[in-house]
């Protein structure tokens, strides 16, 4: 078995030097300023050992990686009733696509495309004020990452609100089918803010540990969800976590993973490790280019793909 410390060190060295870095997301103006020459990785093994490299302590906008955690919270609130509001099939379309929604009568394909995540946020919001719902999401992230200092980058949230015409269209369209219960502005406000949570690779990998260990953080002993629920969330990450790049991610990396346009990917090696990588340059499907390359290296060297060594 190769030594994890040296594998992570070599990956961080290679990624720091590669010329192919992808392109930063510029449809959210505040993200367009982020320096693409950054790469961070944090791997937390079953014993809680953190092996990190590169810019693993630099905070970034977690964007759609937050959707794993809002899905977890909404399942805790609504249970299987959630699946009336959102499906669990891969979309084969870009993350912000609107075309499928008409054919499917406003019920989004899965909780990780934007429409699906907005519907999930609406479930969390129901019965609460936006501020309370957002507080609940933020506290959940702080609890999972064991770090009360995690905050929301208000500038990113405001930037997305100013330019979020597509998400506004998606939400209004779902509202016309009765899939959104709350005022569209409220639901979108909470959605934009949870996407703007800022975290480091180490914090994100810590937050994801329950998914790698049957719903339980093995270091704190906290049972976050049942083993069955963790397994199912992982299944949705594997099939839908990278939008229309999900097949390619499964082929190359072979782990459940969730990307965000800030350049982060959270990946789960069941029973072995929780992994967060970050590099702001994206590929054509909106997934971190070097993040994916790094995870491909890691799973190949460690034999961690869920499909076999």
Nearer to ligand GLN, 200 or 217 (CB): 200
Q: Is residue 64 close enough to count as binding ligand GLN by CB under 6 A? A: yes
The CA-atom distances, in angstroms, between 284 and each of 21, 24, 203, 242 are 12, 11, 27, 11
Q: Annotated catalytic, 61? A: no
The CA-atom distances, in angstroms, between 79 and each of 68, 71, 141, 209, 214 are 15, 10, 20, 21, 18
Query: Is residue 120 part of an annotated ligand binding site?
Result: no
The catalytically annotated residue of 67, 161, 175, 258 is 67
Among 195, 225, 253, 266, binds ligand GLN (CB under 6 A): 195
Nearer to ligand GLN, 11 or 261 (CB): 261
Q: Is residue 137 close enough to count as binding ligand GLN by CB under 6 A? A: no
The rounded distance, in Å, linking the Cα atoms of 31 and 21 is: 15
Q: Are 183 and 43 in contact (CB under 8 A)?
A: no
Nearer to ligand GLN, 30 or 53 (CB): 30
Q: Is residue 114 close enough to count as binding ligand GLN by CB under 6 A? A: yes
The rounded distance, in Å, linking the Cα atoms of 4 and 16 is: 18
Nearer to ligand GLN, 97 or 217 (CB): 97
Q: Is residue 260 close enough to count as binding ligand GLN by CB under 6 A? A: yes
The rounded distance, in Å, linking the Cα atoms of 113 and 92 is: 10
Query: Is residue 173 part of an annotated ligand binding site?
Result: no
Distant-in-sequence, close-in-space partners of 69: CB < 8 Å, separation ≥ 6: 137, 140, 141, 144, 194, 207
**Smallest distance from the beta carbon of 63 to ligand GLN, in angstroms?**
3
**Smallest distance from the beta carbon of 195 to ligand GLN, in angstroms?**
4
Q: Looking at residues 154 to 173 of the shown chain, list those that interact with ligand GLN (rule: CB under 6 A).
A: 160, 167
The catalytically annotated residue of 56, 107, 191, 259 is 191
* Pairing status of strand 151-152 against strand 197-199: antiparallel
Binding site for ligand GLN (CB under 6 A): 63-64, 95-96, 114, 160, 167, 195, 260-261, 286
């Amino acid at each position: 078995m190769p030594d994890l410390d040296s594998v992570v060190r070599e990956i961080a060295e290679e990624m720091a030097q590669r010329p192919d870095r992808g392109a930063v997301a510029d449809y959210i103006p505040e993200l367009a300023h982020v320096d693409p020459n950054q790469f961070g990785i944090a791997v937390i093994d079953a014993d809680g050992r953190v092996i990190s490299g590169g810019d693993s302590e630099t905070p970034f906008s977690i964007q759609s990686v937050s959707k794993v955690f809002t899905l977890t919270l909404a399942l805790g609130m609504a249970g299987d009733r959630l699946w009336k509001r959102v499906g669990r099939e891969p979309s084969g379309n870009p993350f912000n696509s609107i075309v499928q929604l008409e054919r499917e009568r406003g019920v989004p394909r899965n909780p990780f495309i934007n429409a699906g995540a907005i519907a999930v946020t609406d479930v969390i919001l129901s019965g609460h004020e936006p501020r309370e719902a957002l507080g609940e999401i933020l506290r959940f992230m702080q609890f999972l990452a064991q770090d009360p200092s995690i905050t929301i980058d208000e500038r990113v949230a405001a930037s997305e609100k100013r330019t979020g015409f597509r998400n506004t269209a998606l939400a209004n369209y779902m509202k016309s089918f009765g899939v959104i219960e709350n005022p569209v502005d409220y639901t979108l406000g909470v959605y934009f803010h949870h996407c703007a949570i800022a975290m480091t690779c180490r914090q994100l990998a810590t937050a994801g540990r329950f998914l790698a260990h049957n719903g339980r953080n093995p270091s704190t002993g906290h049972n976050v969800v049942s083993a069955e629920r963790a397994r199912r969330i992982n299944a949705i990450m594997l099939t839908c976590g990278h939008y229309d790049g999900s097949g390619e991610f499964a082929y190359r990396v072979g782990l459940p993973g969730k990307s965000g346009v800030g350049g982060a990917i959270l990946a789960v090696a069941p029973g072995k490790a929780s992994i967060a990588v970050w590099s702001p340059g994206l590929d054509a499907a909106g997934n971190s280019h070097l993040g994916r390359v790094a995870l491909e290296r890691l799973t190949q060297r460690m034999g961690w793909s869920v499909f076999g060594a």
